[in-house]
Amino acid sequence: MLDVWLLPPPESPRDVPGHELDAVERRRAESFLQPADRRMYLAAHVGLRRVLALYTGIAPARLVIGGELHKGDGGRHGRPRVLRVPGAPQFSLSHSHGLALAAVAHARVGADVQRIPSDSTVEACLPALHPDEREELLAVPAHARAAVFGRLWTRKEAYLKGLGTGLNRAPSLDYLGDGEPSGRPRGWLVGNLPLCEGHVGAVALQGSGNWQVAMRAVPAAYLYAADAGSAVRGIGGIEPGFRTVLRDRSAAPLGE
């Protein structure tokens, strides 16, 4: 099972209990110049910790999150993971313009969410695509190109996050377009998520076969409650609002 949790945006600075975050996360939050960006970062990472507490049984503030690569500089490198908890699930977090999501699974996973880009952004990113992706995108009518590009780009970022490279790996190396499924990376399931209008998102999971996907929306009351224990118990009672299937090497969007 792959669980996808949609996390609500912060309503005010007082809604975000930042004391549950570690020093690395707090420093990162303070590095944002815009208050709205800072609040979104805090909300996404508090939400992630509360979701992970549900799987691990460990209080959000006591979870130790680090990178899977160690370079001796005290920083986080590679995919983030829960440390010191045998059998802890793997996860991926993404947030963009008021929407955050966390994907949780017992396999390598990547997730990405983006606001649908502008036409100028699409034009600027075209050279970075795989040649076949670029050809497919240019065949799309201009009025629909931004939405199609957004779906493609989130698939690409989700996959690169699952690998642990991010955009340090050239986006042109891997084909994640809508053409022949066999051209996609072997051993990975990649598909788009059904999200609200204005945003696009995707998940990438290392594995084979068809995987059930359960999507849940976390109410703000649970996410920003001062009592983390009650909030985590409340999150545990949320039923999936949408179920779908991540299909093996399918180019079709999830839910289709």
- Does the pLDDT of residue 133 top 60, yes or no? yes
Ramachandran assignment for 72, one of left (phi > 0), alpha (psi -120 to 50 degrees), beta (any other): left
Greatest extent of the chain over all pairs of C-alpha atoms, in Å: 52
The answer to whether residue 126 sits within a structural domain is yes
Pairing of strands 99-105, 211-217: unpaired
Domain extent for 138: 2-246
Q: How confident is the model at residue 72 (pLDDT cuts 50, 70, 90)?
A: very low
* Residue 253, in any domain of the structure: no
**What is residue 136's predicted lDDT score, i.e. its pLDDT?**
96
Task: Note whether 18 and 27 are within 8 A (CB).
Answer: no
**Span between the terminal Cα atoms of the chain, in Å:** 18
What integer pLDDT is reported at residue 251 of this predicted model?
42
Cα distance between residue 85 and residue 9, in whole Å: 29
The type of residue at 228 is: A
Assign residue 56 the CATH number of its domain: 3.90.470.20
Over residues 90-118, mean pLDDT:
95
In this predicted structure, the answer to whether residue 253 has a pLDDT above a threshold of 60 is no
For residue 218, give Cα distances in angstroms to 34, 39, 107, 221, 223: 25, 17, 23, 8, 7
Residues 197-227 have pLDDT tens digits of 889 999 999 999 999 999 999 998 888 888 8
Task: Label residue 45 by pLDDT band (50, 70, 90).
Answer: very high
In a domain? residue 78: yes
Look at the chain and report how many structural domains it folds into. Answer: 1
Q: Does pLDDT of 67 surpass 90?
A: no
Residues 6+ away with beta carbon under 8 Å from 48: 7, 91, 93, 102
Which pLDDT score is estimated for 180?
Answer: 80
Q: Over 70: is that where the pLDDT of 250 sits?
A: no
Is residue 194 in some structural domain?
Answer: yes
- Residue 251 falls inside a structural domain: no
What dihedral do alpha carbons 7, 8, 12, 15 form, nearest 10°? -50
In a domain, 12, yes or no: yes
pLDDT at 183: 86
| Residue 109 pLDDT > 80 | yes
What does the pLDDT average to over 169-190?
91
Residue 34 in this model has a pLDDT that exceeds 50? yes
Token pair of 96 as six digits: 């963009």
254 occurs within a structural domain: no
Residue-level pLDDT at 140:
96
Cα separation, 140 vs 148, whole angstroms: 8
Cβ proximity of 105 and 97 under 8 Å: no
62 inside domain? yes
Instruction: Give the per-residue pLDDT at 77.
Output: 66
| Residue 55 tokens, joined | 């799987």
